[in-house]
Structure 1
């Protein structure tokens, strides 16, 4: 009873407390006063925002520079604070000029992308510009807009746009010394080459890096007539919208499956809406090397309009995208008598690696960061020499080419153009042998089946492929056991074989088809074991390879069917090398008829335009590689007894 009474009292007290609290609660009317500054009826985003930049060590300017026809081009300029009498470095791009300054940092070197960090030390004014019709620039975008002439009836091109841009910069950037250098890789390297066709007098030095020079012969679009069909993603990325477009959507993870199931490259393109793209329609209508390609090949145009601008032509030894352009432009200018102001640099790099770190390339490791060291020790001092008048510790030689075996730069005062080389044949022999003695005869056959093309990398091969940059140094043992790949190998070498120049594939073959492709690979076969790096034991390292479409064996402009079962000669140049096959290694030559899905399949039946071959056109063919007497198949090697390089 006592406990129950006490509990009753507690309940009564709790109710009283609760009622009191309820009585004190707000009744909907706040005693706080609302003032005008609390009310916002407009947007919380101001019409104009200015970021305080008192602690920035540079000033950023976004300007629209007028061209001679009134079109204005979006340009981003970084000027070091307190700048006076500084040179300017210009890059013209279809890849978003604003994207070259990706970081909102008060420090110029931290604000720019990795490729420009060495230039952003406060001693240069950095300039990036969107080409016509891309990103922030006005005008119409045309893929690698041809020079004014039959393919471009307007009064402007990327030559005039570069001229007008430099003219504006010199007159309006008061912190400059009135001198400009141009730089850029790939498409941006092409814009540098275009500027050299008629350079503004203020352009004092230039460096086209891995430039797109001839898209049909050996840069991005074709290699000797074989379509690099994986670049169809580039077409949609560049030409479906003013900014960055999307890649082609995939049904399967493996691009080998995607392209094989699509049929021809044209069928693949049609299924994904490419007929809406003017560039694709022009491109697809010209599969042969006709006027459409010849009239925009810069290695032909540059010697016709030579400049006196000191120019450094750069590329990588294993450049998987533009291995053709720089060296062919340099060779053409040198042959025409303009070698004095044109220099060749080939580094141990993949495409555009000059602008990134260069410690290694796939399994190949270097003793330092070859890219950064070259930029800091050679390239920037060379630019400074022409833009500031500062002396160089060493003059730039005619050619600087990395020696990937000795792991050093070789400097040449007499690097020969390909047409002036002395070549030594290494012949395909019986029993899959390879040697410098001409064989008596014989041949080897394989069946090339378009339904089972040879992959260029081990499957699966996804669209976003981490091995894309380094596929040219991939171990070729992954195809060694295929019956449609022939591998010819020397005995173990007892002395060094040194190559300096461009090998030439000289293949004599017959086929049961009326068309066909030939892939030739020059390979260094490592010894079976390597104590210093066990993963390199028996490695088959390609040092030079390319593909040739058989219909162009007589003429690149006028293709013709292959005569079935008749021996024909297929002779084509391979990428240049500066290489040493060491004792204990072996030299290998591999031959096959496809490199898929990087290159489109040859149906092996002659059709007018392979891009639109029909399913019934794709047929197996038996290919026979001849040793003689109908033809002594060989690779003609630029063997030198003694290197003429200095170090």
Structure 2
């Protein structure tokens, strides 16, 4: 054998011996015996994992509470450890009760969401519940389920569900003192208001925060008949799934383009599958304020079924979603003689900001955290008084409304409802002037083009952006320069003009079209320079604004075409204010015919249902605002004199 062949053979033999060595079982001390405990034939995931909670300062219970018809509602209860004789705070929500206590911390204050941190101090039992048909609760979900009656032929509603829930909690939570408070914002505020229609005896205090009270008149769905079409995402998010659905997919980043290219709001919705949603089909069939809406208006229902439960109605002065509900519910109750147990609170906040930090409102900065201060100094002591009998530091006034100019709270023993206000006309004048003197003649016109609607924010308008929260304080200089926006301005003020209440827009106008919208903005124009905050130099701050759909000028329930080229009166209430226009500032009123894409476009030609207007229906119209012999257009202001009682 040649040397090279011999070497190759030896190498191969060595490799074989090495491989055999690895294949042979170990011997001696290296040998291992497989025992039964080493073998797992099932899953390494236990069927019911339980986290030891010996170091937790609270106990968490997940329960299914039975309602009177057998449906069970998922409820999360957080009880401070070693609790005895504590009150309960209940929130009923369509937004996932489990997410209200999402943290895994052993400390209760770190386990709850931001809105409840002040409550999680060991002195209160916190309860959250999924309403019917949402997340882990049984039953069928119906959007803001109407009370039992013509629109709800069943034997249950959110009033009975709240009653049954409180009854179960009182009987089955041995750590409680038997007293329950209710709280919640937006939809959750609506559930509080529903509970007040027939409250359980154990319900001792309630705080509806920015509640949905009348979705057609001025909360989520419409404002005086103009559709808030950007809320269509809420439809799919709430109703496409039992859990959390998704927003409508977007073709473009800018929603101005998305809604403009879609045509009508109905075309946009149904192109995205909304015919599958029963709520949309009911909603779309009732564009006017007919029985479908009137029978759900909670301000009317609360007066028909008044409770004696102490109630704190909370609202943001610049609430971009539900700026109507709390104020109107409180006013209706006061006017009907039920003011003793109902209180109005309005803070310098956006929608539901009461549950978050309150250092500022967009560019407006406050001297402290207004929300934390209010929760700790007013709200929690007020609840404690009714839930555990502790004395109030001082009585809660009839109305407590923040003064954003003086930056303090004003307390009112008699805050007037809108119908009892003394109003002072601020008239539109010639040469785009504005003043308290009656005008003698004149008019101003602009062309409203549905193909180029006025945006409610400077573009682009993305689907998700923090500007949504603060759009109501957006500097209006971007709109003032447009030819389809009329801006009337006073001379520089020499003395303070203080307004407290609800301004009323009173326009006399004609249009070449047969329908149209009117947007009126009451604005504080800052001095041209501000050495302490240069960004506020010349700022045009909206104080109060709203939109009105012209077809409803005579009747919200029975709309009618606008007679072309004939002067008509358009009179509508603007959101409530507590404001001071200071010397050196000016007051401005802006008028326009669109606020897009927040509100759907009016085609400006009469169609039975604007939701389904055709592209050919959208036409330009010349709008003329009168301030002379044919009508003295004005904003009627609730001007007051003298100092207010403030904290």
Place the TM-score, normalised by the shorter chain, in its bin: over 0.9
1:466, distance to aligned residue in structure 2 (A): 1.9
What residue number does 1:27 align with?
23
1:74, distance to aligned residue in structure 2 (A): 0.4
What residue number does 2:458 align with?
458
- The correspondence of residues 196-211 of structure 1 with structure 2, limited to 5 A, is 196-211=196-211
C-alpha contact 2:354 2:371 (8 A) present in aligned 1: yes
SS in 1 for 2:69: coil
1:32, distance to aligned residue in structure 2 (A): 3.0
What residue number does 2:543 align with?
543
1:18, distance to aligned residue in structure 2 (A): 7.2
- The correspondence of residues 57-76 of structure 1 with structure 2, limited to 5 A, is 57-76=57-76
What residue number does 2:405 align with?
405
- The correspondence of residues 240-389 of structure 1 with structure 2, limited to 5 A, is 240-389=240-389
**Higher deviation after alignment, 40-49 or 26-35:** 26-35
Deviations 1:419-451 (A, max 9, x none): 000000000001100000011111000000000
> Compared with structure 1, are the counterparts of its residues 644 and 406 closer, same or farther at alpha carbon in structure 2 (3 Å cutoff)?
closer
Distance 1:23 1:636 in 2: 98
Any stretches of 5+ residues in structure 1 without a counterpart?
1-7
**Higher deviation after alignment, 16-25 or 634-643:** 16-25
Distance 1:586 1:121 in 2: 47
> Compared with structure 1, are the counterparts of its residues 19 and 510 closer, same or farther at alpha carbon in structure 2 (3 Å cutoff)?
closer
Deviations 1:340-375 (A, max 9, x none): 000000000000000000000100000000000000
Deviations 1:559-582 (A, max 9, x none): 000000000000000000000000
Distance 1:322 1:376 in 2: 24
1:90, distance to aligned residue in structure 2 (A): 0.2
Distance 2:383 2:115 in 1: 15
C-alpha contact 2:408 2:646 (8 A) present in aligned 1: no
What residue number does 2:237 align with?
237
Distance 1:19 1:606 in 2: 94
What residue number does 2:43 align with?
43
What residue number does 1:3 align with?
none
Deviations 1:237-291 (A, max 9, x none): 1111110111100111000000000000000011001001000000000000000
- The correspondence of residues 543-582 of structure 1 with structure 2, limited to 5 A, is 543-582=543-582
1:22, distance to aligned residue in structure 2 (A): 2.7
1:38, distance to aligned residue in structure 2 (A): 1.9
1:37, distance to aligned residue in structure 2 (A): 1.8
Distance 1:261 1:643 in 2: 52
What residue number does 1:436 align with?
436
Distance 1:204 1:70 in 2: 26
TM-score, normalised via structure 1 length: 0.97
Deviations 1:502-549 (A, max 9, x none): 000000000000000000000000000000000000000001000000
Distance 1:118 1:203 in 2: 21
1:63, distance to aligned residue in structure 2 (A): 0.4
SS in 2 for 1:119: coil
SS in 1 for 2:631: coil
1:19, distance to aligned residue in structure 2 (A): 6.2
SS in 2 for 1:78: strand
What residue number does 2:116 align with?
116
- The correspondence of residues 503-522 of structure 1 with structure 2, limited to 5 A, is 503-522=503-522
Deviations 1:374-420 (A, max 9, x none): 00000000000001110111110000000000010111101100000
Distance 2:620 2:631 in 1: 24
Distance 1:530 1:70 in 2: 64
What residue number does 1:4 align with?
none
Distance 2:386 2:169 in 1: 18
SS in 1 for 2:267: helix
- The correspondence of residues 99-248 of structure 1 with structure 2, limited to 5 A, is 99-248=99-248
C-alpha contact 2:505 2:520 (8 A) present in aligned 1: yes
1:20, distance to aligned residue in structure 2 (A): 10
1:40, distance to aligned residue in structure 2 (A): 1.3
What residue number does 1:528 align with?
528
Distance 2:582 2:157 in 1: 49
What residue number does 2:613 align with?
613
1:48, distance to aligned residue in structure 2 (A): 1.4
Distance 1:17 1:377 in 2: 89
Distance 2:368 2:215 in 1: 33
1:17, distance to aligned residue in structure 2 (A): 13
